Amino acid sequence: MAYPNDYRYTKEHEWIQVKGNTALVGITDHAQESLGDIVFVELPKVGAQLKKGDTFGTVESVKAVSDLYAPASGKVVEINGDLTQSPENINKDAHGSWMVKLELADAKEADSLLSSADYETYIKEEQ
């Protein structure tokens, strides 16, 4: 699956799509592929304040439970509640399945994360 050019990526396999002051955050296609069938997603409460690198939830597959790490600092203004009912959506379309919407503390913070090309190189090296 293609890695969208307008997203930024972390080495912990989250993506972030910045639009002005807000951003959508999810996990990458590579992450869903490694995890296998996802059976449960735990998301933070709306209003939670996150610092870059904080764990903001967990994703559970038949193999393992993994933490979700905030790619940037900000306040959670919306969560994607559909995912709690249908976690399989992440397996079907990881880059379309956003988990939280952040109001960014610093709209420029995500600029320093990996570009789609850098991320693809990174996951190739990791394997």
Using CB under 8 A as the criterion, which residues of the chain lie in contact with another protein when the complex forms? 34, 37, 39-40, 60, 62-65, 87-88, 127
C-alpha to C-alpha distance for 119 and 32, rounded to whole angstroms = 15
Which of 50, 35, 15, 38 has the alpha carbon at shortest distance from 122? 15
Nearer to another protein, 26 or 87 (CB): 87
Nearer to another protein, 39 or 105 (CB): 39
Nearer to another protein, 88 or 103 (CB): 88
What's the min distance (Å) between Cβ of 61 and another protein?
9
Which of 95, 98, 60 has the alpha carbon at shortest distance from 79? 98
What's the min distance (Å) between Cβ of 26 and another protein?
19
- How many H-runs (helices) and E-runs (strands) does the chain carry? 4, 9
Are residues 98 and 89 in contact, defined by beta-carbon separation less than 8 angstroms? Answer: no
What's the min distance (Å) between Cβ of 124 and another protein?
14
